[in-house]
Amino acid sequence: MQPIDDGTVPMTNDDPVLEITDLSKTYGRRGVRAVSNVSLSVRAGEVYGFLGANGAGKSTTIRMLLGLITPSSGSIRLFGQDLKYGQPSRRLGSLVDGGAFYPFLSGRRNLDVLARTQGLGPERIDDLLVQVGLEGAGKRKVKGYSTGMRQRLGVAAALLNDPDLVILDEPANGLDVAGIQEMRQLIRSLAEVHGKTVFLSSHLLNEVQQVCDRIAIIDRGVLIREDTVEGILKTEQRFHLVATPLEAARAALAETWPCEIEGEALQVRAETADAPEILRRLVAANIDIFSFAPHQRTLEEAFLAITGTETAHA
């Protein structure tokens, strides 16, 4: 961990790096309640995903974390200290809106300008270009960069001050499949190789599932789940049952678990730990079981089940 020169207190590994409590934001006097009583905490060294559909309140939350807008209520603690509006923490680095660069300057020169505005020297720029995979492109003008290259330059810009916590708002936005994969590797390396804590937002379920240790799901300003990716997938497991008579199987289970007949099979919504009990019930009801298999859900399915289909596609 970097020497602490901004008065924040030294922390143990178990203290949250970021702690949000009952955070709300209403735009304007009678405006939209964009964020509503959100509480979450991010631990040192983890990649934390903030997942929600467009308009869910992710950028509003991030703007509050960065001290760019004031919360209507609630508190934000960063590195054990209350965040003050207009005084961004020096231990934070961020990428919002893909980063803003001078198109006619090279990537390297852009970083140089940004470093100066932060009172930093150019010493780290070469290493950062390597770290984000732009070592061969540093001398080229940014106007010739692909979206993926610009986003990676944005990550390099977020790292200029060697922050402990990196906040990335939709880092995969506008990237193609290859670009998304590169961004994923870059984000994992920030945590695994460089010991950073990463907080990223996304509306891309796949991305969050593959890159994050824990996630929070926000829906219309309200935080509806905070858990590990496995935790979210594990609860409300679905089982696919092929048995006869199917209607009798449904009758034997429906009292305890939500069941639906789909084609030749019965879909049973239950937790993984319920599997033995489900099978015992079926056997007791004299039902012939041909197959019984857990259906591995993607985070997308879990997300849709949690938020409801309409909002996830909004």
Ligand X SMILES: Nc1ncnc2c1ncn2[C@@H]1O[C@H](COP(=O)(O)OP(=O)(O)O)[C@@H](O)[C@H]1O
Residues binding ligand X (CB under 6 A): 27, 31-32, 34, 52, 54-60
| Closer of 63 and 109 to ligand X (Cβ) | 63
Nearer to ligand X, 222 or 285 (CB): 222
- Residue 107: partners with Cβ closer than 8 Å, 6 or more residues away: 101, 129, 134, 137, 138, 139, 140, 142, 145, 149, 153, 156
We find the least distance from the C-beta atom of residue 49 to ligand X, in angstroms, to be: 13
294 makes contact, choosing from Mg ion, ligand X, none, with CB < 5 to 8 Å by partner type, with: none
The binder of 34, among ligand X, Mg ion, none, by C-beta within 5 to 8 A per type, is ligand X
Would you say 31 or 174 has its CB closer to ligand X? Answer: 31
Cis-peptide, bond into residue 245, ω within 30° of zero: yes
Q: Which is nearer to ligand X, 25 or 238 (CB)?
A: 25
Position 59 contacts Mg ion (CB under 5 A): yes
What Cα–Cα distance (Å) separates residue 265 from each residue in 213, 262, 292?
A: 34, 5, 10
195 burial level (CB within 10 Å; 0-12, 13-18, 19+): exposed
Dihedral of the CA atoms 82, 85, 88, 94 (nearest 10)?
A: 110
Tokens of 264: 């030749």
Least CB distance to ligand X at residue 84 (A): 21
Shortest distance (Å) from residue 198 CB to ligand X: 17
Indicate the residue among 45 and 55 with the shorter CB distance to ligand X: 55
Candidate segments 58-66, 118-126, 237-245, 247-255, binder of Mg ion by CB under 5 A: 58-66
CB of 204 to Mg ion, least distance (A): 12
Nearest distance in Å: CB 95, ligand X? 14
Strand pairing partners for 279? none
Identity of the amino acid at 109 = R
d(CA 160, CA 154): 10
For the bound state, the minimum distance from the C-beta of residue 217 to ligand X, rounded and expressed in Å, comes to 11
- From Mg ion, ligand X, none, interface partner of 27 (C-beta below 5 to 8 A by class): ligand X
Angle at alpha carbon of residue 20, lines to 191 and 225, rounded to 5° = 80
Which spans of this chain sit near Mg ion (rule: CB under 5 A)?
A: 58-59
